[in-house]
Every structure is written in structure tokens, then in C-alpha cells.
A and B are shown apart, each in its own frame.
Chain A
Amino acid sequence: MNRTVEIVGVGWSGFRSLTPDQSYKELVFEAALRAYADAGIDPRRDVQGFVTAAEDYHEGTSIYDEYTPDQLGAAQRPMHTIGGDGLHALAAAYMQIASGLMDVVVVEAHSKASNILSLPHIVAFAEDPTFERPLALHPVALAGLEMQGLISLGRITEEQCAAVVVKNKRNALRNPSAAHGTEVGPEEVLSSPPLASPLTSLMAAPHADGALVFVLADTERARTLKGEPVRVRGVGWATDTPALDSRDWTGARYARKAAQMAYRIAGVQTPGQEIDFAEVDDSFAHKELLHLEALGLVPSGRAGEWTLEGQTACSGSIPVNVSGGALGEGSLLDATGLSRALEVVLQLRGQAGPRQLPGVTTGLAFAWRGLPTAVGVAAVLSA
């Protein structure tokens, strides 16, 4: 490896269930302005490259990447889109810097989920057109099948999933950027309207609008900037398979592989000990449990118990989704991974306000690409 990479600025806007007062461009501009102020840079002068993560059908625009540059200050600059999660975009920026090609690269992702009137159709549109889509199922069926499969194996229980929801929605109450924080009891979670048994509506992350912008720089350049750098010690991303028949339904191979890569680059050998806290995908409550084990943060088969024991609570041995996660903040579509990473950055900088964890130095952000994929991205960040 040639160079080390830092996050030197973060900015965000929105994080509400609706944002009717701003267009997507205005929402992104605001987040960008904040990130550049945080890093103390001028995007027109100091930035060599820009990367956005976005998908056409989330925007309602074919070739959406056309509309990415202006609100970021990226017009007439090296800029490209990643059809992936915001953390994929962060990994792309990381590589551009590590290669020596660029010193400062900006990453952006956003959600205007509220503007999509037919989201289940669009998620179904990601399924195989010959073997899956003809069944015309609401795609949440896939989440229900996964959850039931894990229950059948005795890996998790519904009560443990409910505990994840209770924890994350409560955590979100201390996060002013969380749209869906609330007090809810496990019984309410279990008795909320079913989506795809045993999955209930409170176990599925609602959506939110928002934009995030990160500024990354190589360590040497970071020293000359005013921002408080957080080291990107490792990134990792992996795809299992799009096929339902041959994917790993019980072990989240995508998460395991992504984490292995990130840990290898970061030099993390015992994640359970070296990672102080984690922000991991919880698009569905059972996913948090599945991911914690696949990421090696909790011993195999113990994630549910650990959650019930409070070990993943803010005061526990491995706080998970202190931000509220997607269950508490709302899923931000392609920006979800950056919202996980944002919390890690704020915690490591000591800027997390009332939810600040004491003495944390290393955190993990992990994103899953959402239904119907088996794709994950991980980033290990250190103060």
C-alpha cells in the first residue's frame, strides 16, 4: 500500500421522512457546503475527484449520473458515479487516493426515497425477470424467508429481533438526525402488522430523505487541512451471488467476505476486541443479528442473546447502531452506508453529543445493498 487515507470532512442534510422544501440538488448542496466547511476546503480549488453513489430507478432518471456534478462543485472535474452503496463510493475514493492519482476526493450519496411512489415495484425490478419476477411478490418476501430460515435453524428468535428494534429506535431518540426514533416495547414490535411472517412492520426500516458528503484526503494532505481527520484503516466489499438458489442464506457470505477484506487491510486480527463499536446494516431487525456474527463482532450464534443481555446497547461491550441505525434514522437508499459511517466519524471525533461513547478509538461501518442483493461493504475507521 502506497498511502493512507483520512476522512477530513463530513456534512449532511435532511434525515427526515419528507423534505418537500428542497430539491435533491438543494439537499446535496447543503450537505456539501457543510462538508467543505468542516474540511476547510474549496471544492473548486482543492479537490481532484468526486464520486457519487446513485441508482437510476431511485432517482426516476435514466443515466442519473448526468445530474451529479453541479451541486457538489464538480462541474468540469473528474467525477463518476458508482452504482452501489455510498460506502462503495467511499472505497472508490479511497483507491483513487491510494493509487497516488489524487490527493483529495469527495464522496456523495443521497436519498429522496419519499419521491418514489412505487418503491416495491422498483425493488422487484431488481429481481431475476425469468425465475423470480413472474411470481409478482412484494420483495419483502425475501426478508421474511431469510428471517424464518434463521429461526428454523435456531439461530435467532422473534424476541431477539424485537429487542434490536427497541434498542435502535431508542438510540435514535438521542440523535437529532434520526427521523424515526421512538419508545416502543418488544410486544408492540411483535404485534405490529405483519409484512412477511415472521417479519413485522416495525422490524423493517422505514425510509428517509437525506444527503451526505464526505471529504477524503491522503494523510499528508490531511495534515495541512483544518478538519479533524479520521483514518480509513480498511475498506472491504464483496458480492455473493444474485442467484437465490446458490446464495448463502444463513451466513451472510457478503458480510463475512467484505469484513475479511477490510480487516486484512486494517490489520485487525480479533475484531471482537479491536473494534470498539459498530454501525451495521439493520434494514431488517434480523439483519443486524446476522451481520454482527458474520462481521466477527459477536461469537457465532450469540448475537440474539447478546442483544437481550444489553451487550450491544450504548453501555454494552460492543455498542451497535448508537445512531439508531436504519431502524431509527430511516433507510437512505444508496446513502445508507454513509449514514452508518457518519456516526462512526462523529463518535471517533467525540462529536456525538448526548450519545457519545466514552474512549472509543476504532469503529466499523457496514452496509448491505438491500433487497434482493447479497452485497456488502465494510469500512474500519480509527481516530
Chain B
Amino acid sequence: MMDQWVYATTGLHEKDFEAGQVLVETWEGKAEYAWDTGIAMGRFLEELRRGRLVGRRCNSCRRILFPPRMFCELCFRPTAEWVTLGQTGTVITYSLVHVRWDMVRLEQPQVPAVIAMDGAAQGMGILHLLGEVAPEKVKMGMRVQAVWKPAEDREGSITDIRYFKPIR
């Protein structure tokens, strides 16, 4: 039987650490980066500063790719041109999130969603948050629009869009 091929590994409890029962070393080294945004993301972020969402058209499959990239991953060729998309879209899926990444509970749930943008090829969404909506009112297929930070506060970041809110 397989039981004999299981090693009796030593399990510890958090209290073993707290009580100093076990020796530890810690490391808080730096892992810091400055990633080149390059062409597609550089332009995308710059357009966000201007309050616009842009995609890239592939001349081969005719899709408008969003988030934009300089190549079409299906046709494997460079994309051809910039296309300005609308400010509205549709919720493809969402969640009501009650915990932070370290499992600490949030007072108010966050509502992340994948939003397919109008003007992009079908189903081409991005990840963002929903706002100005009671969590229990969120539905699949809900129509939403971007809510921007004031122009002077924008910095060329995805957070220049504060969130998406339902279109009433």
C-alpha cells in the first residue's frame, strides 16, 4: 500500500513561531522594476490621460483588439491602426469581494468586473471596478460607462478611470 511512501513531514503551527520554538531568518530584499511601456501600452496610458480608450485594429482578422497591442496574437502580424473606442461597455462577469489579498476583511465589498467595451471586437474586455451601484444590483450583461478622474488629476494610468457605473 502507498502509505509507506509518505514521509512524515514536520508540520508547525503559527504559535511555534510566535513562541520562538523554531529558528527563522527573514528577508525583505528589494524587487523593484521600471517596465518599458513600449508602443502599445505607452499610447494606451497616454490616451487615458486624455480621457479616451483606444484599441488597435488587425487588418487580417478585422478585430479591434483591446487592450491594445502592436500585434494580433491570432493572425501573428502587426496591427494596423489606432481606433478610439466608446466610453461604455457591458459587464461580462463580476464578483463581490469581501477580503483583501492578505485575507483581511473589507468593510465595503469591492466589485471587480470584466467589461467588454463598445467599439472593440466582441467580448474584448478589461478588468476594472464597478461603482455607484449597490452590490446586490450588479448583474451580468449590465451596461456601464467609465467614470473618470478630473482631467487635472489624471496621470496616464488605468486608475484615471475611477470605476465603471451603470448607465441609467
Contacts and interface: CB of A to CB of B under 8 A. Distances in A.
Interface of A: 19-27, 29, 32, 36, 42-44, 57, 60, 69-71, 73, 75, 112, 114-118, 121-122, 124-125, 129-130, 133-134
A117 B33 contact: yes
Given A22-B38, A23-B39, A125 B69 contact: no
Interface string B52-80: 00000000000000000111011110100
Contacts of B31: 57, 60, 118, 121-122, 125
Contacts of A20: 36
Please list the 6 inter-chain residue pairs (A to B) with the smallest Cβ-Cβ separation, ordered nearest first: A23-B38, A60-B33, A70-B73, A118-B30, A73-B76, A121-B29
A280 B37 CA distance: 33
Contacts of A42: 76
Contacts of B33: 60, 115-117
A26 B74 CA distance: 15
A25 B38 contact: yes
Contacts of B32: 116-118
Contact of A23 (B27, B37, B75, B76): B37
A134 B23 CA distance: 13
11 contacts: A21-B39, A24-B38, A29-B70, A43-B76, A75-B74, A115-B36, A117-B34, A118-B32, A122-B29, A130-B25, A133-B25
B153 to A, nearest CB: 26
Contacts of A118: 29-32
A232 to B, nearest CB: 25
A121 B33 CA distance: 12
B21 to A, nearest CB: 17
A19 B70 CA distance: 16
B83 interface: no
Contacts of B71: 25-26, 29, 70-71
Given A25-B38, A118-B32, A122-B31, 10 more contacts: A20-B36, A22-B38, A23-B41, A29-B71, A32-B76, A70-B69, A71-B71, A73-B76, A130-B25, A134-B25
A19 B38 CA distance: 9
A23 B29 contact: no
B121 interface: no
Contacts of A32: 76
Contacts of A130: 25
Contacts of A129: 25, 27
Interface residues of B, number: 24
Contacts of A114: 36
Contact of A75 (B34, B70, B73): B73
B40 to A, nearest CB: 7
A274 B39 CA distance: 46
Nearest to A123: B29
B101 interface: no
A70 B41 CA distance: 15
Contacts of A69: 73
Nearest to A116: B33
B34 to A, nearest CB: 6
Contacts of B29: 118, 121-122, 124-125
Contacts of B36: 19-24, 112, 114-115
B7 interface: no
Contact of A60 (B35, B41, B70): B35
A32 B74 CA distance: 14
Contacts of A122: 29, 31
Interface in B4-49: 25, 27, 29-42
Given A70-B73, A71-B71, A112 B25 contact: no
B39 A26 contact: yes
A122 B25 CA distance: 17
A60 B25 CA distance: 23
Nearest to A125: B29
A23 B34 contact: no
A23 B41 CA distance: 8
Nearest to A133: B27
A349 to B, nearest CB: 25
B29, B37, B40 pick with most chain A CB within 10 angstroms: B29
Nearest to B39: A26
B10 to A, nearest CB: 16
A104 to B, nearest CB: 14
Given A116-B33, A118-B31, A26 B76 contact: no
Contacts of A116: 32-33
Q: Interface centre among A27, A69, A75, A121, by most B CB within 10 Å? A: A121
